[in-house]
Amino acid sequence: MTLKVLLVEDDRDLRTMLRQALTLEGCEVLPAASLADAQALMAHAGTERPIEIALLDLGLPDGTGESLLGPLKLQPGTPVIVITAQQTEERKIRLLDAGADDYLVKPFSIGELLARMRVALRHRGTVMRSAITQYTAGELQIDVDARRVRRGDADVHLTPTEFKLLARLVRSAGQVVTQRQLLAAVWGNEHVDHTHYLRLYMGQLRAKLEANPANPRYLVTEPGVGYRLADPGD
Identity of the residue, 54 or 173, whose beta carbon is nearer to Ca ion in the bound complex: 54
In the complex, the smallest distance separating the C-beta of residue 54 from Ca ion, rounded to whole angstroms, is 15
Identity of the residue, 10 or 231, whose beta carbon is nearer to Ca ion in the bound complex: 10
Identity of the residue, 11 or 210, whose beta carbon is nearer to Ca ion in the bound complex: 11
In the complex, the smallest distance separating the C-beta of residue 201 from Ca ion, rounded to whole angstroms, is 38
Identity of the residue, 58 or 132, whose beta carbon is nearer to Ca ion in the bound complex: 58
Identity of the residue, 10 or 143, whose beta carbon is nearer to Ca ion in the bound complex: 10
In the complex, the smallest distance separating the C-beta of residue 112 from Ca ion, rounded to whole angstroms, is 18
Identity of the residue, 10 or 89, whose beta carbon is nearer to Ca ion in the bound complex: 10
In the complex, the smallest distance separating the C-beta of residue 200 from Ca ion, rounded to whole angstroms, is 39
Identity of the residue, 52 or 57, whose beta carbon is nearer to Ca ion in the bound complex: 57
Contact criterion met (CB below 8 Å) for 6 and 41: yes
In the complex, the smallest distance separating the C-beta of residue 211 from Ca ion, rounded to whole angstroms, is 40
In the complex, the smallest distance separating the C-beta of residue 5 from Ca ion, rounded to whole angstroms, is 17
Cis peptide, bond prior to residue 107, ω within 30 of zero:
yes
Neighbours of 125 (CB within 10 A): 10
Instruction: Quote the CA–CA distance of 121 and 5 in Å, as a whole number.
Output: 12
Instruction: Quote the CA–CA distance of 175 and 15 in Å, as a whole number.
Output: 24
Interacting residues with Ca ion (CB under 5 A): 10, 57, 59
In the complex, the smallest distance separating the C-beta of residue 57 from Ca ion, rounded to whole angstroms, is 4
